[in-house]
Homo-oligomer: A and B are copies of this chain.
């Protein structure tokens, strides 16, 4: 078993500890590290050691993923956190403000979509000319002939 160090105030976490506390698999932690989302250093046995704030980073990653944000984007956002010092509440707040905007945008889009859905797909206009749901991807077509009649 890995060294537990002193029992009271342990600031370093092993990969197994991070995994069980964050709820993500060890392989996922390796993966996130390879992708630059989290960082670690090694002890004498070449085992990963994590700063406690990795737990919050992972929490943030999961929240962002729940919102549908791809890892690459999450990585970029996390890159804004300070490199050397432990992020402050303010640092996290800036980040969460960004997620909030992202989320707001997504919510708005989905809401629009939902509202159009009832008035549009249901009504049958979707196969006709001026459907707001269809138009974004049907700029072309309907040239001269009379297919809109069926």
Interfacial residues, chain A to chain B (CB-CB below 8 A):
7-11, 17, 20-24, 52-53, 55-56, 59-60, 62-63, 66-68, 89, 92-93, 95-97, 99-100, 103-104, 106-107, 109-111, 113-114, 117-118, 120-124, 126-127, 131, 133-134, 136-142, 145-147, 149-150
Contacts and interface: CB of A to CB of B under 8 A. Distances in A.
Majority secondary structure, A binding face: helix
Copies of this protein in the assembly total 2
Contact of A113 (B52, B63, B111, B133): B63
Contacts of A10: 145, 147
Contacts of A139: 23
B63 A133 contact: yes
A117 B96 contact: yes
A138 B56 CA distance: 12
A56 B134 CA distance: 9
